Amino acid sequence: MIVAITGTPGIGKTSVSEVLRKKEFDIVDLNKVAVEKQFLIGVDIDRDSKIVDVDKLNKYIEKNYDGKDIVFIDGHLSHLLNAVDKVIVLRCHPKILKKRITVKNWKKEKIRENLEAEILDVILCETAEKQSRENVFEIDTTEKNVDDVAECVLEIIKNNFEHMKKYNMGNIDWSEEILKEDYGG
């Protein structure tokens, strides 16, 4: 089973994946695959980021990981892969995300863009377009440390990835934040 761990950059995907790796789960770092396998279309200079060939990435993941035991795909594009069976979307209140994001050493505009993306549910909306509802789990990590978030993932596994109300997509709404705070970075 291929499980995407997605969410706005800085939200904690890699941190949670590291905890899961220590618990002997297989983890694929999607950014690393894209770079190592040269699945790149170009560079977005304005955004200071690489443009990834999602189609090639999908084929690679399908070929190498389909039919295996649980494998987690860590990456902010992982929800776009047709190969994934389940998607876990990590969320975080933008005020707290702003703190987490500081480790990334990004320009102000990039910080702002990502905080806005979290407020506007961009990754969740992309996920909803691509995956059916019962396969999507949304975890609010705002008041959870990394181990707590990993525990939520283990809970989902224990429940055989069956639909769980508390991880229903659509429970989380940061939309008021767009009016309240300056997220200029």
Comparison of 76 and 86: residue with beta carbon closer to ligand ADP? 76
Contact flag: residue 142 with Mg ion (CB under 5 A): no
Binding map of ligand ADP across residues 88-107, x = CB under 6 A, - = no contact: ------------x--x----
Nearest distance in Å: CB 108, ligand ADP: 18
Contact flag: residue 14 with Mg ion (CB under 5 A): yes
Please pick, from the candidates 4, 9, 77, 139, the single residue that binds ligand ADP as defined by CB under 6 A: 9
How many residues bind ligand ADP (CB under 6 A)? The answer is 15
Per-residue three-class SS string for the chain:
CEEEEECCCCCCHHHHHHHHHHCCCEEEEHHHHHHHCCCEEEEECCCCEEEECHHHHHHHHHHHHCCCCCEEEECCCHHHCCCCCEEEEEECCHHHHHHHHHHHCCCHHHHHHHHHHHHCCHHHHHHHHHCCHHHEEEEECCCCCHHHHHHHHHHHHHCCCCCCHHHCCCCCCCCCHHHHCCCCC
Residue nearest to ligand ADP (CB): 12
Nearest distance in Å: CB 10, Mg ion: 8
